[in-house]
Amino acid sequence: MKNFHVGDVFYGKSYVDMINKTLGTNIHEGFMRSCIELDDFGYKGVVAWFAFMNGETHGHRSDWKWRNYLLDNKTKIKEKLVSKNTEFYRYKRNEEGYLPYRLCFQIDPYYDENRYCCKFVGLFRLTNFLKDDLTIMEYSKVSDDFCLKNINEYEYDEKFRKTLVDSYDKYKIPISKLGFSDTNYTILRNGNIKYTHELLEVGLDTLNKDFLNELRQKLYEVFKKDEKDYQEYEYILPEELEPDVTIKPHNKTSKSFILNKKMFDKDQIVIETVMEYVRLHLDIKIQELKDAFNFPNLSFTVIEDAKIAATQPNYELNYFYKEDESIPLVDGEVFVWKQWSDNDLDLFIENVKSLGLNIEIL
């Protein structure tokens, strides 16, 4: 059993390894999909979704290109198909449904081009379509926490599903009220589909174009954004979004640093160096990391157990302590010291050479 909380971070040696370490699955290398069904964990219809959320285009084929945006204080996600050819998308939605319930993990959460790192951002559900061809979706957060049961150990969780569906009115509208044609309504009833949430969940696997066109029309009518809300949404949602960089500089200085061909300022370079070392030693424990960065010529502790650091006076001033700044390890979290004089920083840069980390000063 795994308990996820917003901000939990996971690393892997590959995309598949990252997923397996996050979920406890045993997916084989070569897997490329972003969604993993959680039916075997007891959560029928829920998927774990691993996606970039910084507005950049990603996708493994030309007709499956997406841009995702984490927005509105990280309580909403916009998913946008940007491929001009939408036939494959329509085929997949016809086959699989819209996968409306998503346990969401943001890939490369620190925007440092590490696609084998992900951060849990919450349990979301599809709440709106923002375009009439259903190629732009909005997901809203349901919970910051999620308990993932052991695979193949538990039965279907009916109570969880009822809570997920019943708490959103648009999911509970009977299809008899949507005005389907008699022929298409009969098709749905024969498939035992009674409510709008089932229209999102179920792959209908039909080639009947008239039926599919009417289905898309009805889904948009139900789940489209109200005009007032949509205008407000557009205000906070420009088409191209600059990444919401998690680790922001505290004090700008004229000096810059290069680590692994990436540029950082004075306030970023230490924590980025520690994170790089952790990425190179994924199974490292708190004491081992403390020992690695225990430099005798520095008068303070570079790394501290988060539980210990949080008890110290003025720890908010002395450590990178925020949710997106603490570093998760296999046995807990650590904070990194952030009060650096120029002389101490020079010593740090010289010391980390012994760890195989070379920092260039510009």
DSSP 105: E
Q: What is the reported pLDDT for 248?
A: 36
By DSSP bridging, strand 101-107 and strand 46-52 are parallel
Supply φ then ψ for residue 251, to 5 degrees: -140, 120
Torsion of CA 152, 156, 160, 162, to 10 degrees: 160
Q: What is the reported pLDDT for 342?
A: 83
Residue entry with tokens 């009977």: 174
SS3 184: helix
| Dist. CA 72–CA 85, nearest whole Å | 30
Other CB atoms within a 10 A radius of the CB of residue 317 amount to 10
Q: What is the reported pLDDT for 153?
A: 61
CA 254 to the chain's CA centroid: 34
pLDDT of the chain, 362 residues: tens digit per residue: 789 999 999 998 889 999 999 999 998 887 888 999 998 888 888 999 999 998 888 887 778 899 999 988 899 999 999 988 888 898 889 888 999 999 999 999 988 888 899 999 999 999 999 999 999 999 999 999 999 887 766 555 677 777 789 889 999 999 999 999 999 999 899 889 999 999 999 887 777 889 999 999 999 999 998 655 544 444 334 344 444 433 333 333 456 888 988 888 887 899 999 999 999 998 899 999 999 999 988 878 899 999 998 888 778 888 888 877 889 998 899 999 988 888 889 999 999 999 999 998 87
- The number of CA neighbours under 13 Å toward the Cβ of 260 is 14
| Dist. CA 362–CA 353, nearest whole Å | 17
